[in-house]
């Protein structure tokens, strides 16, 4: 992978990271669920809302961790290689998901392993 391409990916990831941090911050500090409950029905709604909110922020945190990992790899010049076998991921995989950690075949193996 050439330097310019890598630089472009790095910029994209950094942009996304900044955006994610804002989103997580908003989600987690956001509305104060459950503090103003005056009926049972409302309470249920609010705890559901809280659950949705917390799983959404968990997803965002996971994505943030993936991005941090990818950025670290760019710095260490190991970006674009499979964590399992060390093969190049290939431009296609990176285009699909710029934080991919495994090549196509290792990914498939990992997925098969999960289903057992
Ligand atoms: Zn691999």
For residue range 79-97, list pLDDT tens digits in order.
Answer: 999 999 999 998 888 999 9
Q: How far is the CA of 59 from the centre of ligand 1 (A)?
A: 25
Tell me, yes or no, if the pTM score tops 0.75: yes
Q: How far is the CA of 80 from the centre of ligand 1 (A)?
A: 11
Is the Cβ–Cβ distance between 84 and 103 less than 8 Å?
A: yes
Q: What is the pLDDT of residues 5-43, one digit of tens each?
A: 999 999 999 999 999 999 999 998 876 555 554 555 666
Helices (H), the chain: 3-29, 40-76, 91-96, 104-115
Q: How far is the CA of 46 from the centre of ligand 1 (A)?
A: 44
**What are the domain boundaries of the chain?**
1-79, 80-116
């Amino acid at each position: 992978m050439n330097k310019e391409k890598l630089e472009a990916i790095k910029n994209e990831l950094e942009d996304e990271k900044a955006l994610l941090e804002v989103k997580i911050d908003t989600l987690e500090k956001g509305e104060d669920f459950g503090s103003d409950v005056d009926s049972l029905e409302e309470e249920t709604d609010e705890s559901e809302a809280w659950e949705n909110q917390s799983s959404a922020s968990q997803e965002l945190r996971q994505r943030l961790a993936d991005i941090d990992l990818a950025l670290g790899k760019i710095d260490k010049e190991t970006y674009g290689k499979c964590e399992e076998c060390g093969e190049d991921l290939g431009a296609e995989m990176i285009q699909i998901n710029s934080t991919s950690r495994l090549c196509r075949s290792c990914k498939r193996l990992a997925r098969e392993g999960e289903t057992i």
